[in-house]
Homo-oligomer: A and B are copies of this chain.
Amino acid sequence: MVLEGKVVVAQGGGPTAVINQSLVGAVLESRKFPQITKVYGAVNGVSGIINEDFLDLTQETTHNLEQVAITPSSALFSTRDKPDNAYCKEIFNVFKAHNVRYFFYIGGNDSADTVRIVNEQAEASGYEFRAIHIPKTIDNDLMMNDHTPGYPSAARFVAQSFIGLNLDNRALPGVHIGVVMGRHAGFLTAASAIAQKYPDDGPHLIYLPERNFVVDKFLRDVKNVYDKYGRCIIAVSEGIQDENGVPIVTKLVKNNETDAHGNTQLSGTGALGDLLSQLIRTNLGIHRVRSDTLGYLQRSFMGCVSGVDQHEAREVGEKAAQFAIWHNIDGSITIHRTGYYSVDYTMTDLHNVAGKTKLMPDEFINADGNNVTDAFKYYLQPLLGSDMPEASMLRAPRAEKILHKL
């Protein structure tokens, strides 16, 4: 029995390259139902809801929605607000005032928690209401999902970046550090391993938040690689921490900025890369050391996207509307891998996803804790999409020397 009323769609947390596919999927599917009187998009996520900042997406052209669908970054803008119970009550009051019966929130595990709270408040009030969490994150850290929309495209960007950095490092050797987003989960940093095509390709070392970062071991690892190859490429998560859980970057950054979730600013600064570069110069006496912090391009670069990711992000958006409006249930949409490579979509209870973080499983990390396994590459490969570019190298034989024989 389809509830008569409005749909509200919102986007929360960090944007991704395909988050608008989910938005457009949810909007177009919702607009099919005559019982849905309006489809609103909340501007700036939940903060837009409490301010009644709504765009009437019922009046947006289908054509422009499709143009927006292929544009990266949240078209409805976003927020880092983390609603507590009082905040959610205000959300709920606005929903009641506007006769909103369906709420689709595209976000990560924090967003799932918001959906859970609002849903509980609606139940407690006896207000007929369906709320769905639509998965989204470049970190790939939502429980219950094989992977999450946003991750494959960001992983592709990271992979293409390290293919390039490896080539550049061959041409002008030295030590090169690439810092990748990833506060707790190392899936995105691990994607750099796709660059390992030839046996001596980098990244030669990959450091993830799932393993304690020990400076002495790090330096020994780098020295070993550099002595062997005359160069070294390192991929490192911005969230690497020591055995006490202290982020390595906080040892250097004096002006710690925190967000509403109490997190230290890890992104948008070159601090970690510069710190590690300095450690290498000082302790190993290697002169040419460079670092690149891949930064916000990982989630926003215009023109690097996985086709698989586009399709799946679109599906979860439409599925949300279908589960809520056809089947009258709440929950979080999940993606399951059914074959190599095929997927299916189901729903799970919000509390299975809300506030929980999935980490890289042990079988994806090598025993030495400084690289990833073939099992990981096998897992990631089909997510990258078709036409992944590859590097080629010359194979011509060496010519004979003349002068040095004399």
User: Which A residues have a C-beta under 8 Å from some C-beta of B?
Assistant: 11, 14-15, 38, 40-41, 52-57, 59-61, 64, 67-68, 70-80, 93-94, 97-98, 160-161, 163-165, 167-168, 170-172, 176, 255, 257, 267-271, 273-274, 277-278, 281, 287-297, 299-304, 389, 391-399, 401-404
Docked CA distance A278–B257 (Å): 11
**Of B76, B389, B393, the contact of A303 (CB 8 Å cutoff):** B389
On whether the beta carbons of A167 and B302 are closer than 8 Å, the reply is yes
Report the Cα distance A269→B277, complex, angstroms.
9
Most B CB contacts (10 A, CB to CB) among A40, A168, A271 go to A168
**In the assembled complex, how far is the CB of residue A5 from the closest CB belonging to chain B, in whole angstroms?**
14
Contacts of A269 in B (CB 8 A): 270, 273-274, 277, 290-291
What are the residues of chain B within 8 A of A72 when measuring CB–CB?
164, 167, 391
Are B176 and A296 closer than 8 Å at their CB atoms? yes
Contact across chains for A167 and B73 when beta carbons are under 8 A apart: yes
Bound complex: CA A236 to CA B177 (Å): 22
Number of copies of chain A assembled together = 2
Contact B73 A170 (CB under 8 A): yes
**Cα of A70 to Cα of B387 in the assembled complex, Å:** 14
Q: How far is the CA of A303 from the CA of B392 in the complex (A)?
A: 13
A268 x B290 contact (CB < 8 A):
yes
A397 to B61, CA, bound (A): 11
Contact among B278, B301, B392 for A161, CB-based, below 8 A: B301
Given contacts A14-B172, A167-B300, 15 further A-B contacts (CB under 8 A): A38-B399, A55-B394, A60-B396, A64-B392, A64-B394, A71-B167, A79-B172, A161-B297, A164-B302, A165-B296, A268-B290, A269-B274, A292-B293, A302-B389, A302-B391
Across the interface, do B393 and A68 meet the contact criterion of CB distance under 8 Å? yes
**Of residues A163, A274, A300, A399, which shows the largest number of chain B Cβ atoms within 10 Å of its Cβ?**
A399
A289 to chain B: which residues have CB within 8 Å? 268
B278-A293 in contact (CB<8A): no
Complex Cα gap A165–B296 (Å): 7
CA distance A84 to B292 in the complex (A): 32
Taking CB as reference atom, which chain B residue is nearest A67?
Answer: B392
Contact yes or no, B268 A164, CB < 8 A: no
